[in-house]
Copies of this chain bind each other. A is one copy, B any other.
Amino acid sequence: MSVSSKLTIFNDPIYGFIRIPNPLVFRLVEHPYFQRLRHISQMGLSYLVFPGAHHTRFHHALGSMHLMQQALQTLRLKGVSISEEEEEALLVAILLHDIGHGPFSHAMERGIAEGLDHERLSLHFMNALNANFNGSLTLAIAIFNGTYSRKFMNQLVSSQLDMDRLDYLKRDSFYTGVAEGSINSERLIHMLNVAGEDLVVEEKGVYSVEKFLMARRFMYWQVYLHKTGIVAEQLLIQIFKRAKDLLHRGDDLQGSPALMHFLKGEFQPGVFTAADLEYFSQLDDTDILAAIKLWQHHKDKVISQLCNMLLTRRLLKIEIKNNQVSDTELKHYIDKVSQLFGISKTDASYFAFKGNIYNRAYNQQEQKIHILRKTGEVLEVTGASDHLNLVAQGETVEKYYICYPKECVT
Residues of chain A having any CB pair with chain B under 8 Å? 7, 9-14, 16-17, 30, 32, 35, 38-39, 41, 47-48, 50-52, 54-56, 58-59, 62, 74, 77-78, 174-180, 182-184, 186-187, 190, 207-208, 210-211, 214-215, 217-218, 221-222, 256, 282, 286-287, 289-290, 293-294, 311-313, 386, 388-389, 391-393, 395, 397
Contact B311 A176 (CB under 8 A): no
> Would you give the shortest CB distance from A254 to chain B, in whole angstroms?
9
Q: By the criterion CB–CB under 8 Å, are A51 and B59 in contact?
A: yes
Question: A52–B55 contact, CB under 8 A?
Answer: yes
Could you list 8 A-B pairs, sorted by A, with CB under 8 Å? Answer: A11-B52, A11-B178, A16-B177, A51-B59, A180-B187, A207-B221, A389-B389, A389-B393
Q: How far is the CA of A151 from the CA of B132 in the complex (A)?
A: 47
Q: Do the beta carbons of B12 and A177 come within 8 Å of each other?
A: yes
Q: Which residue of B lies closest to A186 (CB)?
A: B16
With A32-B312, A290-B286 already in contact, the answer to whether A51 and B12 are too (CB < 8 A) is yes
Chain B residue nearest to A59 (CB atoms) is B51
What is the bound-complex CA distance between A186 and B286, given in angstroms?
A: 35
Residue of B nearest to A48 (CB): B38
Quick check: B211 and A174 within 8 Å, CB to CB? no
User: Considering only CB atoms, which chain B residue lies closest to A38 in the complex?
Assistant: B47
Residues of B within 8 A of A51 (CB): 10-12, 38, 56, 58-59, 62
Contact of A395 among B175, B180, B388 (CB under 8 A): B388
**B residues near A14, Cβ cutoff 8 Å:** 177
Is there contact, CB below 8 Å, between B311 and A32?
Answer: yes
Q: Are A313 and B35 in contact (CB under 8 A)?
A: yes
Least distance between A171 CB and chain B CB atoms (Å): 9
Q: How far is the CB of A392 from chain B (nearest CB, A)?
A: 4
Q: How many copies of this chain does one complex carry? A: 4
Complex Cα–Cα for A367 and B407 (A)? 43
Q: Are the CB atoms of B179 and A182 closer together than 8 Å? A: yes
Taking a contact as CB atoms under 8 Å apart, the answer to whether A11 and B50 are in contact is: yes
- Cα–Cα distance between A183 and B389 once the two chains are bound (Å): 19
Enumerate chain B residues within 8 angstroms of A38, measured Cβ to Cβ: 47-48, 51
| Assembly CA distance A357 to B31 (angstroms) | 30
Asked whether, in the complex, the Cβ of A388 is within 8 Å of the Cβ of B388, the reply is yes
CB proximity of A20 to chain B, nearest CB, Å: 12
Q: State the CA gap A186–B221 with chains docked (Å).
A: 19
With a 10 A CB-CB cut-off, give which of A13, A50, A211, A393 has the most chain B CB atoms. A13
- Chain B residues with CB below 8 A from A313, complex form: 30, 35
Q: Which residue of B lies closest to A175 (CB)?
A: B13
Q: Which residues of B contact A10 (CB under 8 A)?
A: 50-51
Please give, as numbers and ranges, the residues of chain B lying within 8 Å of A78 by CB-CB distance: 7
Contact of A207 among B9, B16, B50, B222 (CB under 8 A): B222
Tell me which residues across on chain B come within 8 A of A174, comparing CB atoms. 13
The answer for the CA separation of A59 and B182 in the assembled complex, in Å, is 21
Chain B residues contacting A41 (CB-CB under 8 Å) are 54
Q: How far is the CA of A175 from the CA of B51 in the complex (A)?
A: 13
User: Separation in Å of the A402 CB from the closest CB of chain B?
Assistant: 17
Smallest CB separation, A43 vs chain B (Å): 11
List of B residues within 8 angstroms of A312 by Cβ: 32, 35
Closest-CB distance, A293 to chain B (whole angstroms)? 6
> CA separation between A221 and B389, bound complex, in Å?
15
The CA-CA distance from A199 to B225 in the complex, in Å, is 28
Min C-beta distance of A187 to chain B, whole Å: 7
Verify A186–B17 contact, CB threshold 8 A.
yes
Closest residue of B by beta carbon distance from A52: B13
Other A-B contacts than A207-B218, A208-B222, A290-B290, 7 sampled, CB-CB below 8 A, are A10-B50, A12-B51, A51-B58, A179-B182, A180-B183, A207-B222, A389-B393
